[in-house]
Amino acid sequence: MQAFTLTQPSNIQSAVAAASEPQTKYIAGGTDLLQLAKDDIETPRQLVDLEPLPMSGIHAGPNGLRLEALARMSDVAAHPAVVHGWPVLSQALLASASPQIRNMATVGGNLLQRTRCGYFRDTGFACNKRVPGSGCPAINGENRMHAILGVSDHCIATNPGDMAVAMMVLDAELELIGRNGTRKVAIGDFHRLPADTPHIETILRPGELITGIAIPASAAARRSGYLKVRDRASFEFAVVSAAVALDMDGGTIRSARVAAGGVGTKPWRLPEVEAALTGKPARAATLQEAAGRAGEGAKTTAMNAFKLVLLRRAVLRALQTVAA
């Protein structure tokens, strides 16, 4: 493990200034970063501890929800306003990791957790994400858990998060602060496709800090749900997951938002499914037909082709549950 210094900033500005120095990373709950540091996947020389900053609030009102970046996953999942107004978010968080990890981990850190690709997490293997240009052994190797959407010839690793998938159907917006001021970024624009630079995973600039996440209130948010399919019932990453939010007018679907996890190199919205639902009666045949379109453009391998079938089944089950 690389030795590092720990900086404890007294305010956001000094945190951003410290984190703008080379070989520096923020540390929040530490549940991903410390493991990566112990395994020499991440080798920062300075960590900027976010813990002293007053950024852990959860603010819910009639117009929306604002999560400060250090809000703990467990606190957000259990918040009564989240459970009732944004159930897909609560469900996705409760399906993540374990209670102990959720008590430590923050929502800001969750958005930046790194892939669980076994080659990435083992320095004994080449990996374009870890060492650009070194190769991708997963493409012709053990890739049962890898992505089928958004893949490139350089990387097929999935984004492993659950919460971001839920946020995709809630139109969440991230609030960022950096050396040049603040900006807002839609969750769908935050993660990048791997293309030929899989080591660049988000649009964050050096030293930029996530300060909060804003999520509007809506009828669709209130009628939403998350389904996660995994190899064991708890403490496991998604093989496939589906997030659904429906705005219904009686028995008709006025608008739909559908996203998937476990299948994409980033949290993946499914516009082909949404289009097939919009303005249609929420009958079994409509849901079946729409779910059957999920995964347009998928590129599978012999080991992970099952994910396309599983994705469609998971989307159908999530649609049935939320529409009922």
Ligand X SMILES: Cc1cc2nc3c(=O)[nH]c(=O)nc-3n(C[C@H](O)[C@H](O)[C@H](O)COP(=O)(O)OP(=O)(O)OC[C@H]3O[C@@H](n4cnc5c(N)ncnc54)[C@H](O)[C@@H]3O)c2cc1C
Residues that bind ligand X (CB under 6 A): 25-33, 50, 69, 96-97, 101, 104-106, 108-110, 112-113, 160-163, 209-210, 237
77-111 CB burial, b ≥16 within 10 A, e <16: bebeebeebbbbbbbbbbbbbeeeebeebbbbbbb
Handedness of CA 129, 17, 101, 243 (dihedral sign): negative
**DSSP structure string for 43-56:** --SEEEE-TTSS--
Q: At its nearest, how many Å lie between ligand SF4 and the CB of residue 291?
A: 27
Q: At its nearest, how many Å lie between ligand SF4 and the CB of residue 289?
A: 33
298-301 contact pairs (CB < 8 A, 24+): 298/148, 298/149, 298/263, 299/148, 299/149, 299/151, 300/148, 301/139, 301/143, 301/146, 301/156
Question: Which entry of ligand X, ligand SF4, none binds 82, CB below 5 to 8 A by partner kind?
Answer: none
Question: Which entry of ligand SF4, ligand X, none binds 64, CB below 5 to 8 A by partner kind?
Answer: none
Question: Which entry of ligand SF4, ligand X, none binds 274, CB below 5 to 8 A by partner kind?
Answer: none
Name the burial class of residue 297, with classes exposed (0-12), middle (13-18) and buried (19+) by CB atoms within 10 angstroms of its CB. Answer: exposed
Residue closer to ligand SF4 (CB basis): 90 or 115:
115
Residue 228 in contact with residue 250, Cβ under 8 Å?
no
Chain positions contacting ligand SF4, by CB under 6 A = 115, 117, 119-120, 127-129, 136-138, 155-157, 198
Q: At its nearest, how many Å lie between ligand X and the CB of residue 139?
A: 24
Residue closer to ligand SF4 (CB basis): 102 or 129:
129
Question: Which entry of ligand X, ligand SF4, none binds 33, CB below 5 to 8 A by partner kind?
Answer: ligand X
Q: Which residue is nearest to ligand X (CB)?
A: 109
Q: At its nearest, how many Å lie between ligand X and the CB of residue 18?
A: 12
Q: At its nearest, how many Å lie between ligand X and the CB of residue 154?
A: 21
